[in-house]
Amino acid sequence: MYKHVVGALLLASLGLAPATQAQTKPVAPKHTFALGDENFLLDGKPFQMISGELHYPRIPREAWRHRMKMAKAMGLNTIGTYVFWNVHEPEQGKYDFSGNNDIAAFVKIAQEEGLWVVLRPSPYVCAEWEFGGYPYWLQKDKSLVVRSKDPKYLAAYGLYLKAVAQQLAPLQVNHGGPVLMVQVENEYGFYASDKDYLALNRKMFVDAGFDGLLYTCDPGEKVKEGHLPGLLPAVNGWDDPRKVKQLVRTYHEGKGPYYIAEWYPAWFDWWGTPHHTVPASKYTPRLDSVLRAGMSINMYMFHGGTTRGFMNGANYKGEGTRYEPQTSSYDYDAPLDEAGNATPKFLSFRSVIEKYLPAGTKLPAVPAAKPTMRTPVINMAAATNLLSVLPKAIVSAQPQTFEDLNQDYGYVLYRTTLPGGRTGTLQLKDLRDYAVVLINGQRVATLDRRLEQDKTEITLPKGTVTLDILVENLGRLNFGPFLNQNRKGITEQVSFAGTEVKNWQHFRLPFNDISKVGKAPAGKAVATANGPVLRRGSFTVATPADTYFDMSQWGKGVVWLNGHNLGRYWEVGPQQTLYVPAEWLKKGTNEVVVLEILKPQQDKLVGLEKPILDVVKADGEARRTN
């Protein structure tokens, strides 16, 4: 007892409280944020949002604060972000708000850095993200319809929204947080025009706890279909002040304020097509005119980052168009590059923004580009034949989809046996999305949904033949009318020489934890020809710095660094490197794993000082696209 009293007195004399005593935290001041006739009103005074979009899952958590400091240095006072359902509820009822998924921490860091936040927790985000942000398990029920009044969809969505609100509703500006506005749905006018559905969305947001300012956003030509009377209609894609003001007034009781919720300084990339770049000079006059008119704006993207793992989406518009899976790099030719460094576009936009800041405001100096390094050549000699480390098989007469197998992303190996000594056409009806066909462990063909390939002529050797089909999910559609047709794998049937092939073994290969994928059993030889392979190597770093793994000599696959999935690579380009953040490197030994499905003999890897994002390879020849 005496020791406790003395200890308490000592702590008090030092101005400290004992650990067992409740700490009194300063209460964050509450603000008001409202709609004026022409302007947003922050604490009753006109406020012009100059915002930039950046997404927490696309940036290592350790780098969040750096990217926000860069936003401040360009003159931004606000950041925007989507909230990604499939990140936070990867399996139904199992929520994850930890690590890189800690959206509340992301928002709090923004507040610490003096930034306001516009939050976009719509269940559908598009964002060039897998399934537009929807979790894969919604596709298990073939009758469930997303973005609709389907009771099953609304029930799942409602539970998710409540879980998100527990994290974020207390961070709204009217509760002392930095969140100024919350978006209901996302570009719904592109999809449908059901005002009852939108009204249900609004009610669900309010019931979940989002009691601040709500708004909708739609491309200018679709505001009529996507706006909800009573909510501010934000405009995407348009930046003519006169047209934007006229449009908003038309659907908002003859008044403003005026918010361009997505202003595009460039565009994203997809595999096999040129890298998209737009010079700053094309956009600086337009940014100037918007800010001069007193309108608020959100740049999509201010910083794209990287879509790591298997979370890229894809586009498909229907008959006469092709399936377009997006690259892992989400560089976007944005003001901040993929690694978070200022670009010439950043400097041009900063010079425009400076003209419209409050009198006496001085922007922070632009931080220097982060150091980069070129690694020594990494020896990837340790190899494991993927077919030698397969998990337990799931057996059925018909080929099962990823969803049937309760698998979200990655690969599924389909296996069966056939009597040999024949030649015929192998057809995979409605393949989604990329298949490597192997006969007795050796590759004989590939099929690519991008190229509308679903069949190939093959010859079976004599005897009983093992047919393996390794199918990769290249990304579920994130946009358009086919969101409800997003099942993956072999989604119909397989036939050979006109006869349906049955009796399949399925091997689930989600690669969600590379540490759980085994190495080749002792003494078991690696396939020497052309089957898929896992290669491992290590390298030593004295001082971690950003680098870019050069994958231009490899074929197709995925890379892990110290357990982190860096994303996909594919020789078709335009992306030929994978960004390696310094934050994920260790001082000392670093481990690399590569899954290579086309060039198993490749066994060397090197890190470059600069990315290669603009080389498309056609017929085996590389050409620059810019």
Residues acting as catalytic residues: 187, 262
CA-wise closest residue to 434 among 472, 399, 408: 472
Distance between CA atoms of 416 and 504, rounded to whole angstroms? 5
CA-wise closest residue to 106 among 120, 127, 92, 90: 120
- Run of H or E including 68: helix 64-74
- Run of H or E including 457: strand 455-460
Quickly count: other Cβ atoms within 10 Å of residue 355's Cβ.
10
Helices (H) and strands (E) in the chain, counts: 10, 38
Phi, psi at residue 48, to the nearest 5°? -105, 115
Distance between CA atoms of 289 and 284, rounded to whole angstroms? 9
Cα four-point dihedral sign 371, 377, 383, 385? positive
> Which residues make beta-bridge pairs with 214?
182
* 156 touches 148 (CB < 8 A): no
Chain position carrying tokens 């992306």: 575
List of residues 6+ apart from 108 with CB closer than 8 A: 171, 177
Cα–Cα–Cα angle for 327, 331, 334, rounded to 5 degrees: 145
Length of the chain, please? 626
Distance between CA atoms of 168 and 101, rounded to whole angstroms? 13
Going through 71-185 in order, the beta strands assigned E by DSSP cover: 78-82, 116-120, 179-183
The phi-psi region of residue 566 (left if phi > 0; otherwise alpha if psi is between -120 and 50; otherwise beta) is: alpha
List of residues 6+ apart from 89 with CB closer than 8 A: 95, 96, 135, 160, 163
What tokens does 241 get? 């002040």
List of residues 6+ apart from 538 with CB closer than 8 A: 378, 589, 590, 591, 592
DSSP states along 469-488: EEEE----EEESTTTT----
Phi, psi at residue 436, to the nearest 5°? -105, 120
Residue type, 386: L
Distance between CA atoms of 161 and 153, rounded to whole angstroms? 12
List of residues 6+ apart from 240 with CB closer than 8 A: 289
* 270 touches 252 (CB < 8 A): no
The phi-psi region of residue 230 (left if phi > 0; otherwise alpha if psi is between -120 and 50; otherwise beta) is: left
Distance between CA atoms of 551 and 607, rounded to whole angstroms? 9
* 555 touches 594 (CB < 8 A): no
